Amino acid sequence: MNSAAVVLITSKVTKSLHTNIENNYKTYHLWEQPDQEAFLKQHGHEITAVATSAVYGASAELMSALPNLKIVVSYGVGFDALDINYAKQHGITITNTPDVLNNCVADTALALLLDVARYISYSDRFIRSGQWKSRSVKLGHKIGNKTCGIVGLGRIGKAIAKRAEAFDMKIAYYGRHQQSDVNYDYYNDLQALAKASDFLVLALPATSETNHIINKQVLTALGAKGFLINIARGSVVDEQALVTALQEGVIAGAGLDVFEHEPNTPKELWEMDNVVMTPHIGSSTYETREAMSDLVFANLHSFLEGKGAITPVV
């Protein structure tokens, strides 16, 4: 055990990650403290590292209560719940878990796309409710030769594109810059990409600049035959505008793994047959979660041993 390091775990983590941290470092569990403010006042000066998640994050308030904090290791690829500016200003290293979850998140995107296009979840409910005995199921939509517009062609976006290509889809993308290593059609105007797309797939990070980037105008451009697929973050979509667009037939449907106010979801969507919802399960496989846990611990251990972080954000 490294007696010099004290790790604060902010919320429940995987069993393997918890075991690795506890076996190597003195550890506190923030979520178990009945009075977290009092706990931090008493023990905050001891803590040199924080283990958290992309959901729970690490606020400036939390980090400021830990005067000897050196590193925050986060379980997840997104860092919108982590106060990056505070960390930069105070020399605190922040890490995430990129790459190890790319494939599973991309799989989820294609699963949602296929499901909503071909009415898979709807068809399952159709059989279970006994409707097949009295009428025919709704016709779905072919995805081959359709355009998959990807908003954010990073690691996950490229993994989505690879899978969509296997279904004979045409790939186009929107981003801050055109990328030289791909031959996909590039759009520097999001509404133009939406208009050209049959399926608009969101794989961009959540930042102040991308908040509600998918708004009424973009949804209108996507049009009555277009589908929205979101495996990014709920905040990138104006959720009320999306609800209205679906209610009014402005777009054809949506596949959603993330929501603006998780775990709350708009009740208007619950009864829509052209909407498929999953509870933020993009990377939720045993294999990926273990790989993420291993990378969180590897970042923590490497940094505390003086070798630097493996996947630093800052």
- The answer to whether the beta carbons of residues 187 and 172 sit under 8 Å apart is yes
φ, ψ of residue 84 to 5 degrees: the values are -65, -40
Band the pLDDT of 4: cuts 50, 70, 90.
confident
Q: How far apart are CA 34 and CA 37, in angstroms?
A: 9
Band the pLDDT of 122: cuts 50, 70, 90.
very high
Beta strands 49-53; 71-75: pairing state: parallel
In this predicted structure, the answer to whether residue 222 has a pLDDT above a threshold of 80 is yes
φ, ψ of residue 104 to 5 degrees: the values are -70, -35
Q: How far apart are CA 285 and CA 288, in angstroms?
A: 5
In this predicted structure, the answer to whether residue 103 has a pLDDT above a threshold of 80 is yes
DSSP E strand boundaries for the chain: 2-9, 25-29, 49-53, 71-75, 93-95, 147-151, 170-174, 185-187, 199-202, 227-230, 253-256, 275-277
Q: How far apart are CA 282 and CA 231, in angstroms?
A: 7
In this predicted structure, the answer to whether residue 235 has a pLDDT above a threshold of 90 is yes
Residue length, the chain?
314
Nearest Cα to Cα of residue 73 among 301, 290, 282 = 301
Catalytic residues: 233, 262, 280
In this predicted structure, the answer to whether residue 154 has a pLDDT above a threshold of 80 is yes
Cα-Cα-Cα-Cα dihedral sign, residues 179, 206, 268, 136: positive
DSSP state of 173: E
- 248 Cβ partners below 8 Å, 6+ apart? none
For residue 229, give both structure tokens: 């697929």
Residue 171: per-residue pLDDT: 98
Task: Tell me the pLDDT of the chain averaged across its residues.
Answer: 97
Q: How far apart are CA 147 and CA 137, in angstroms?
A: 25
Residue 1: per-residue pLDDT: 59
Band the pLDDT of 35: cuts 50, 70, 90.
very high
In this predicted structure, the answer to whether residue 38 has a pLDDT above a threshold of 90 is yes
Tens of pLDDT, residue by residue over 42-96, are 999 999 999 999 999 999 999 999 999 999 999 999 989 999 999 999 999 999 9
- The answer to whether the beta carbons of residues 259 and 265 sit under 8 Å apart is yes
Distances (CA, A) of 242 to 87, 102, 114, 159, 215: 34, 26, 20, 26, 8
For residue 46, give both structure tokens: 């001891």
3-state secondary structure of 311: coil
Burial of 282 (0-12, 13-18, 19+ CB in 10 A): buried
| Residue matched to tokens 């958290």 | 52
Find the mean pLDDT for residues 252-258. 98
Band the pLDDT of 3: cuts 50, 70, 90.
low
Residue 214: per-residue pLDDT: 98
- The answer to whether the beta carbons of residues 159 and 151 sit under 8 Å apart is no
Higher-pLDDT residue of 229, 79: 229
Q: CA dihedral defined by 172, 120, 271, 258, rounded to 10 degrees?
A: -50
Find the mean pLDDT for residues 240-266. 98
